[in-house]
Each structure stands twice: as structure tokens, then as C-alpha cells.
């Protein structure tokens, strides 16, 4: 048709020029709209396990190869991280798991730590009512009642297909035979060796050979064996959940804590139970986002942010452009402000989840947003409702050959938790008590501000930022994702999902992409170093955003699995750590 028009003698030179220009513009537009080539990471046909350590991922994959399902594998991976990743994976902690079965059934379990019965709202304050530095972060009073073993046995009973003794067998062998220390681990052990000695009053497994004064030093590649932990796991395999909460292990744990001046008792352990909860579900475009409900703040905040972003054309703005950063920052600012006021343990608080995650509320929260200037956090409080967790966490994602998917995030809170190491049992204890609002308005170790909803009360679960997430696309399983990172967990998960759905990235590319973070207070946008252009940062500063870039800043270590259109699984293991994807 075009050729016929161009050869017609009746077309004037003027209209011929116009038509040629239109064709040229159309051609350029088509070229611009051509989707960018997607870079793919690790691919597999049937199963994918992505975790912080190769040993854990391999053990999980082996469980699946032997006929186990995702829930059997998650227990093996979780327990293997206790051995090979003591930085965050420990029997002395707790966590959350979100799942989607092959038939579309969804659910979540909360095995978050709890405050001891003897805990009080002012236990970390001095006589003048001021927080005592480090008391909630280091040592015996920082420890919450551990929930990991209760969670693992609850998952096994409801969803597992293999006996716990069989699942734990390769984990026990790993503890006995040892694992090779990586460069990242070596650096961490060296950095904390003197702290371990100070807090414990003696040397421990992870300080000997790592101190500057040691004659014989452990080097990268050396094996670390933990026969004491192997013995603990063997007793649990033989005797079940009660071993940890009522048996010999429980007694050893309580004796250790009491000897160091802590307040956890046998009654605390006996009373602990993991809780099955209804997931938070929300939508973003053609996605259904399945997240963890309180006491995790992740599911609610993620739902809020997606609702605030949906009216904007993020794809047109472009990945990590000034406009994208502005919109995401403003949405994060409002969600974190609400987090600080409304969220806490749902067994102790009436939380307006439906209102917080509604489209109307999201619209109201963003109505004063402007691309011209940043909104100062000092001008933002929690929203009006009618009627009304660690840089040192670890996450793993699994999809099995049957179509089941899990996202699990577990933690000790700080690096090696309270730094207390139970030498008779072979693991560190958490410092989750710092995740409570020690005093309303006073920030915790991650700078997060709390209110009365998250105050310390006996048997209460502390608020968390952990955000294990499963995403459906057009009604089908599409992604499982999560990350460590304390207060940056929510924003890291958010940006990873956006990278795939709006910016056309593969899973590996999405988890590796540079990230930024804002959490309301302090009113600072944190950027990963050497990853954002000077022009972009200058433009944001000119609009009133306070920028921070530090060489040591790492925002999350995201692990995820993406289901491709042909059913192939792509694993994304974050370049920022020793994370490894294993599939077949």
C-alpha cells in the first residue's frame, strides 16, 4: 500500500515529505519498544533450590532427587544453614515461611521468637528511662524464646512427606564432616572473634584460629567441623520436637542462659508453639503477591507500596531512573511510617490490615507527592485509619518437581545474634528482643522507630521486616523470592519483583541489579556504592533528597526462583554473598 502511494503522481512534494517523516517516526518508535534481551541465570527443568550456602542448596536438591517435596527440602536447607551459615542460620532463632502448593493452596507459618514470661516493658531502660546501650542487642537479656525447631516440626507434620530422621541425616553428616570456610566467612569470623570471646567470657569454636593473636590460623578452604551440633541434631532426630523444648537439650539451653544471667526458663520453652497464619494477598498489575502477615511487616508494607506504585508507568520511567527512584522512595516513606505505628503481634493488637492495603488508602497517602520536590519525612506521620528484621538474616527459595513453592526467611537478628554461643549444644542464640520497641520513638539497631503496638510484653512476638514472598502471574506460579537485610528487606524484595515485571529482567539479573532504600526515618535515601550515575544522584539532591553512599553498604542478598513461560526454572543467587542456586 505504501509503495502504491509513493509512486502516485497525484501526491505533492509537501505530503510526500510528511508521509516519509511519519514512516521514520514509526520506525524509530518500533525500535525503541523492542524488548531488551533478557539475561538468564541458572536454569533447570524440574527443581530449583537457592540459598546462602552451596552445601545447603545441594542437600536440599538431594532431598528432592530422592523423592521428597519442597517442604522436606526446606527443613534440610534450614538445618544445613545452622551448620554452614552460623552468621544467621541457627537453632537459636526463628522465622517465617510462605508456601504455594501445586494445586494453588497458599499458607504461611510464623515461628518467630517470643519474649520470655519474665520480660517487662522497661527491662532495657535505666533509672531515668533511657535505653541502656547494647543490653537488648548483646548478651543473655537480648535473647527471645527460639522458634525454629517448633516451626520445622510443624511444617513436617502438616506438609512433609519424609520422616524427620531421614531429612536430618545429611545435615548431621555435614556437621560431623565439616564444611569449607569461604573468604566471606573468614572475614566475618575474624571481625567478630574478639567480641565472641568478650561476650562468652571464653574462646568458642568460631574464635579459635581467627584472632590476630592466634599462632595457628584458619584459612579460606579449611574445614570447620561441629560435632557438638551434630549430637544436638541427632537427639532432635531421635526424640522429636520435645527434645528441644522439654528434653535434655532444653535443660542444657536453660542452664546455659540462667548461668549467664538470662531470664528464659523451661516454662518458656514448653509454652512455645509455631502459628499457622493466613497470608497477606495483594495485586500489582497482573500479579498476585502472597506475603507474610504480622508479626512480619513485610506482607503489609509490600502490599501498600505496590498499591501506591500501580497508578504510575514504572516501565516508561525506566529502571533506576530519577522518576522511578522518586516514586518508589515516596511510597516506601509512607509505608514505613505506617509500619512504625500500626504493626506488631496480631495476638496482642488489632491491626487494620484491610484498610492499610486498600487502593483508596494508597491513593490518599500519595496525593501530595510531587516530582518537583521530595516530601520531608518530618511532615509525614502514620495515616488516618477509620476505626482504629536484620541485615544478618538469611532467605532461601525452593520450587520442587511437583509444582510446590516455598519462600522462607529465618534469622538471629544481628550478626551471630546475641553473640552468645551455647558450647554444649553448638549454636548461637538470637538477639531478637531488640526488634521490640524498647522505648516508643527510639530506633532499634536498624534505625526503625517503634510505637506501643510493638512494645515488650511477656509471650509476645516482636515485629519483623522479613518478607518471604510468592508471586502468581495470571493465576499461575511465577516467582518465589526473599532476602536478608534488616529494614532493607522489604525494599529489596520490592525492587527485585519490579525488575522482572516492569524492567524485563531475568531472575539472576534482577537480584544482582543495584538497589536503593528509604525507610521514613532517618530521612535518607541509601544507594549501593558505584552503581548509580552522578547525574541521577545530583538531580535527586537538587529535588531535596538526602543521599547516602558508603562502600560497605550491601542492600540485601536476594535469592529467588522464576518460572519461565515454558516451565523452565531460573534461579537467582545474589552476587553479594556466597549464595548458590542448584537445580536439575
**Is there a contact between 34 and 59 (Cβ–Cβ < 8 Å)?**
no
The length of the chain, given as a count of residues: 584
pLDDT digits (tens, 9 = 90+) for 519-571: 988 899 999 999 999 999 999 999 999 999 978 788 999 999 999 999 999 99
Nearest to 383 by CA among 362, 409, 368: 362
How does residue 20 score in pLDDT terms, banded at 50, 70 and 90? very low
What 3 state SS string does 513-544 have? CCCEECCCCCCCEEECCCCCCHHHHHHHHHCC
Q: Which residue has the higher pLDDT, 2 or 105?
A: 105
The verdict on residue 21 lying in a domain is no
Mean pLDDT of 370-386: 78
Residue 518 pLDDT more than 70? yes
The verdict on residue 351 lying in a domain is no
The verdict on residue 292 lying in a domain is no
Residue 446 pLDDT more than 80? no
**Catalytic residue check, 393:** yes
**Is there a contact between 321 and 312 (Cβ–Cβ < 8 Å)?**
no
The verdict on residue 133 lying in a domain is yes
Q: Which CATH number belongs to the domain containing residue 163 in this structure?
A: 3.60.20.40
Strands 525-527 and 547-549: parallel
Give residue 392's pLDDT: 65
* Torsion, Cα of 240, 245, 247, 252 (10° steps): 130
The verdict on residue 329 lying in a domain is no
Residue 29 pLDDT more than 50? no
**Is there a contact between 14 and 481 (Cβ–Cβ < 8 Å)?**
no
The verdict on residue 295 lying in a domain is no
pLDDT digits (tens, 9 = 90+) for 274-306: 999 999 999 999 999 999 999 999 999 999 999
How does residue 443 score in pLDDT terms, banded at 50, 70 and 90? low
Among residues 375, 393, 394, 488, the one annotated as catalytic is 393
The verdict on residue 118 lying in a domain is yes
- As given in the structure block, the three cell numbers for residue 461 are 512476638
Model pTM score:
0.90
pLDDT digits (tens, 9 = 90+) for 164-222: 999 999 999 999 999 999 999 999 999 999 999 999 999 999 999 999 999 999 999 99
How does residue 31 score in pLDDT terms, banded at 50, 70 and 90? very low
Which segments within 436-546 are labelled E, that is strand?
A: 469-473, 476-482, 516-517, 525-527
DSSP letter, residue 411: E
Q: Which domain does 560 fall in, by range?
A: 42-178+225-279+387-583
The verdict on residue 88 lying in a domain is yes
Give residue 448's pLDDT: 54
| Tally of domains in the chain | 1
Amino acid at each position: 500500500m505504501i509503495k502504491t502511494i509513493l509512486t502516485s503522481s497525484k501526491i505533492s512534494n509537501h505530503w510526500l515529505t510528511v508521509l516519509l517523516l511519519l514512516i521514520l517516526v514509526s520506525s524509530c518508535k518500533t525500535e525503541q519498544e523492542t524488548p531488551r534481551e533478557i539475561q538468564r541465570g541458572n536454569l533447570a527443568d524440574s527443581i530449583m533450590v537457592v540459598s546462602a550456602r552451596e552445601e545447603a542448596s545441594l542437600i536440599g536438591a538431594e532431598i528432592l532427587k530422592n523423592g521428597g517435596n519442597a517442604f522436606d527440602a526446606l527443613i534440610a536447607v534450614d538445618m544445613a544453614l545452622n551448620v554452614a551459615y552460623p552468621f544467621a542460620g541457627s537453632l537459636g532463632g526463628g522465622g517465617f515461611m510462605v508456601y504455594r502448593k501445586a494445586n494453588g493452596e497458599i499458607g504461611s507459618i510464623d515461628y518467630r521468637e517470643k519474649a520470655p514470661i519474665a520480660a517487662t516493658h522497661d527491662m532495657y531502660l535505666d533509672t531515668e528511662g533511657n535505653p541502656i546501650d547494647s543490653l537488648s542487642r548483646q548478651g543473655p537479656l537480648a535473647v527471645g524464646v527460639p522458634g525454629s525447631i517448633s516451626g520445622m516440626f510443624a511444617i513436617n507434620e502438616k506438609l512433609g512427606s519424609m520422616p524427620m530422621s531421614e531429612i536430618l541425616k545429611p545435615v548431621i553428616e555435614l556437621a560431623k564432616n565439616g564444611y569449607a570456610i569461604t573468604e566471606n566467612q573468614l572475614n566475618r569470623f575474624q571481625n567478630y572473634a574478639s567480641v565472641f570471646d568478650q561476650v562468652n567470657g571464653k574462646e568458642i569454636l568460631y574464635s579459635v584460629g581467627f584472632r590476630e593473636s592466634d599462632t595457628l590460623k584458619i584459612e579460606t578452604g579449611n574445614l570447620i567441623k561441629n560435632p557438638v551440633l551434630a549430637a544436638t541434631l541427632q537427639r532432635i532426630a531421635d526424640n522429636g520436637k520435645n527434645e528441644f523444648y522439654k528434653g535434655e537439650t532444653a535443660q542444657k539451653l536453660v542452664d546455659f542462659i540462667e548461668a549467664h544471667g538470662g531470664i528464659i526458663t523451661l516454662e518458656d520453652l514448653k509454652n512455645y508453639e509455631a502459628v499457622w497464619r493466613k497470608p497477606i494477598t495483594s495485586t500489582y498489575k497482573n500479579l498476585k503477591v502472597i506475603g507474610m502477615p504480622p508479626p512480619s511487616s513485610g506482607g503489609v508494607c509490600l502490599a501498600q507500596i505496590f498499591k501506591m506504585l500501580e497508578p504510575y508507568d514504572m516501565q516508561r520511567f525506566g529502571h533506576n531512573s530519577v522518576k522511578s527512584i522518586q516514586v518508589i522512595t515516596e511510597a516506601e516513606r509512607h509505608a514505613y511510617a505506617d509500619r512504625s505505628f500500626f504493626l506488631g503481634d496480631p495476638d496482642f493488637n488489632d491491626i487494620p490490615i484491610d484498610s492499610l492495603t486498600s487502593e483508596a488508602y494508597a491513593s490518599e497517602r500519595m496525593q501530595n507527592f510531587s516530582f518537583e520536590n521530595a516530601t520531608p519525612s518530618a511532615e509525614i506521620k502514620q495515616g488516618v485509619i477509620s476505626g482504629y528484621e536484620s541485615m544478618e538474616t538469611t532467605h532461601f527459595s525452593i520450587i520442587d518437581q511437583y509444582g510446590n513453592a516455598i519462600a522462607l526467611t529465618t534469622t538471629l537478628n544481628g550478626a551471630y545474634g546475641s553473640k552468645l554461643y551455647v558450647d554444649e549444644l553448638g549454636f548461637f542464640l538470637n538477639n531478637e528482643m531488640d526488634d521490640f520497641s524498647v522505648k516508643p520513638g527510639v530506633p532499634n539497631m536498624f534505625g526503625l522507630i517503634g510505637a506501643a503496638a510493638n512494645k515488650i510484653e511477656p509471650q509476645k512476638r516482636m515485629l519483623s521486616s522479613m518478607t518471604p514472598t510468592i508471586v502468581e502471574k495470571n493465576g499461575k506460579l511465577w516467582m518465589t523470592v526473599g532476602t536478608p537485610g534488616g529494614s532493607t528487606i522489604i525494599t529489596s524484595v520490592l525492587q527485585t519483583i519490579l525488575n522482572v515485571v516492569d524492567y524485563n529482567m531475568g531472575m539472576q539479573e534482577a537480584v544482582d541489579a543495584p538497589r536503593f532504600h528509604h525507610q521514613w526515618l532517618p530521612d535518607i535515601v541509601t544507594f549501593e556504592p558505584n552503581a548509580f550515575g552522578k547525574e541521577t544522584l545530583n538531580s535527586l539532591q537538587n529535588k531535596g533528597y538526602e543521599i547516602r553512599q558508603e562502600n560497605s553498604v550491601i542492600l540485601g542478598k536476594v535469592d529467588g526462583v522464576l518460572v519461565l513461560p515454558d516451565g523452565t526454572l531460573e534461579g537467582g543467587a545474589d552476587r553479594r554473598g556466597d549464595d548458590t542456586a542448584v537445580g536439575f
